[in-house]
Structure 1
Amino acid sequence: MNRDILPLCAGVNLQYVAPHVAWVTLDRPQARNAIDADVTIGLELAVAMTETDVDIWCTVLTGAGEQAFCAGADLRVIAEGEAASLSTPGGGFAGFVNQPRQKPWIAAVNGFALAGGTEIALACDLIVAAEHATFGLPEVQRGLVAAAGGLYRLTRAIPRALALELILTGERLPAQRAHQIGLVNHVVPMEGLRACALALAQRICANAPIAVRESLTVARAAFDHDDQALRQISAHAMHTVASSNDFKEGPRAFLEKRPPRWSGT
Structure 2
Amino acid sequence: MTAALEEDRAALARAAEQEERVLSGLPEPADRSPGQRAAATAAIDAARDARCAFLDAHAEEVYEELTAGRTRRLRLPELAAAAAAAFPGLVPGPDRLAREQARQQQDKEGHEIDIGIFFNRVLHAPRAGDHLLGTMLRPTPRALGLLAEFTRTGTADLGSVRMERRDGVARLTMCRDDCLNAEDNRQVEDMETAVDLALLDPGVEAGLLRGGEMTHHRYRGRRVFSAGINLKALHNGTISLVDFLLRRELGYIHKLLRGLVTDEGPAWRAQPIQKPWVAAVDTFAIGGGTQLLLVFDHVVAASDAYLSLPAAQEGIIPGASALRLTRHTGPRPARQIILAGRRLPADEARAIGLIDEVHDPDTLDLAIEGALQRLRGAAVVANRRMLNLTEEPLEAFRRYMADFALHQALRLYSIDVVTKVSRFTTASSPTSERPQT
Which TM-score applies when normalising by structure 2? 0.47
Per the alignment, in what secondary structure is the counterpart of residue 103 of structure 1? coil
Match of 1:215 in 2: 383
Matched, 1:151 2:301: no
Matched, 1:161 2:332: yes
Match of 2:163 in 1: 14
Per the alignment, in what secondary structure is the counterpart of residue 167 of structure 1? helix
Give the alignment partner of residue 203 of structure 1, picking from 374, 384, 389.
374
Displacement after TM superposition at 1:142 (Å): 2.5
Displacement after TM superposition at 1:113 (Å): 0.5
In 2, Cα distance between equivalents of 1:61 and 1:164? 27
From the superposition, tell whether residues 204 and 224 of structure 1 become closer, same or farther in structure 2 (CA, over 3 Å): closer
Q: For residue 325 of structure 2, what is the amino acid of its counterpart?
A: L
In 2, Cα distance between equivalents of 1:6 and 1:142? 33
Give the alignment partner of residue 183 of structure 2, picking from 35, 38, 62.
35
The answer to whether the 8 A contact 1:115-1:139 is kept is: yes
Displacement after TM superposition at 1:79 (Å): 1.6
Whichever structure has more helix as a proportion of its residues is 2
Displacement after TM superposition at 1:116 (Å): 0.7
From the superposition, tell whether residues 177 and 203 of structure 1 become closer, same or farther in structure 2 (CA, over 3 Å): same
Q: For residue 175 of structure 2, what is the amino acid of its counterpart?
A: D
Match of 1:250 in 2: none
Matched, 1:122 2:294: yes
The answer to whether the 8 A contact 2:293-2:354 is kept is: no
In 1, Cα distance between equivalents of 2:321 and 2:362? 28
Displacement after TM superposition at 1:103 (Å): 1.0
Per the alignment, in what secondary structure is the counterpart of residue 62 of structure 1? strand
In 1, Cα distance between equivalents of 2:344 and 2:227? 14
Q: Write out per-residue CA displacement over residues 148-194 of structure 1, whole angstroms, 9 at most, x where no aligned residue.
A: 11222111111221121111111211100111222211101122222
From the superposition, tell whether residues 220 and 198 of structure 1 become closer, same or farther in structure 2 (CA, over 3 Å): same
The answer to whether the 8 A contact 2:298-2:371 is kept is: no
Match of 1:45 in 2: 193
Q: For residue 47 of structure 1, what is the amino acid of its counterpart?
A: V
Displacement after TM superposition at 1:24 (Å): 0.3
Match of 1:26 in 2: 174
RMSD of aligned C-alpha atoms? 2.1
In 1, Cα distance between equivalents of 2:335 and 2:245? 26
Whichever structure has more strand as a proportion of its residues is 1
In 2, Cα distance between equivalents of 1:67 and 1:46? 19
Match of 1:92 in 2: 249
Match of 1:243 in 2: none
The answer to whether the 8 A contact 1:130-1:189 is kept is: yes
Match of 1:76 in 2: 232
Match of 2:206 in 1: 58
Displacement after TM superposition at 1:144 (Å): 2.2
Per the alignment, in what secondary structure is the counterpart of residue 98 of structure 1? helix
Displacement after TM superposition at 1:67 (Å): 5.2
Q: For residue 189 of structure 2, what is the amino acid of its counterpart?
A: I
Which of these two proteins has the greater Rg computed from alpha carbons?
2
From the superposition, tell whether residues 3 and 130 of structure 1 become closer, same or farther in structure 2 (CA, over 3 Å): farther
Give the fraction of aligned pairs with identical amino acids, expressed as a percent.
30
Per the alignment, in what secondary structure is the counterpart of residue 33 of structure 1? coil
The answer to whether the 8 A contact 1:166-1:172 is kept is: yes
Displacement after TM superposition at 1:4 (Å): 6.7
Q: For residue 79 of structure 1, what is the amino acid of its counterpart?
A: H
Per the alignment, in what secondary structure is the counterpart of residue 178 of structure 2? helix
Match of 1:109 in 2: 281
Q: For residue 117 of structure 1, what is the amino acid of its counterpart?
A: G
Q: For residue 92 of structure 1, what is the amino acid of its counterpart?
A: E
Match of 1:228 in 2: none
Displacement after TM superposition at 1:88 (Å): 5.9
The answer to whether the 8 A contact 2:249-2:320 is kept is: no
Per the alignment, in what secondary structure is the counterpart of residue 50 of structure 1? helix
In 1, Cα distance between equivalents of 2:334 and 2:301? 19
The answer to whether the 8 A contact 1:110-1:129 is kept is: yes
The answer to whether the 8 A contact 1:32-1:68 is kept is: yes
Which TM-score applies when normalising by structure 1? 0.75
In 2, Cα distance between equivalents of 1:139 and 1:44? 24
The answer to whether the 8 A contact 2:311-2:339 is kept is: no
Q: Write out per-residue CA displacement over residues 173-228 of structure 1, whole angstroms, 9 at most, x where no aligned residue.
A: 110011122221110112222221122112222x21xx221111001111245xxx
Matched, 1:132 2:304: yes
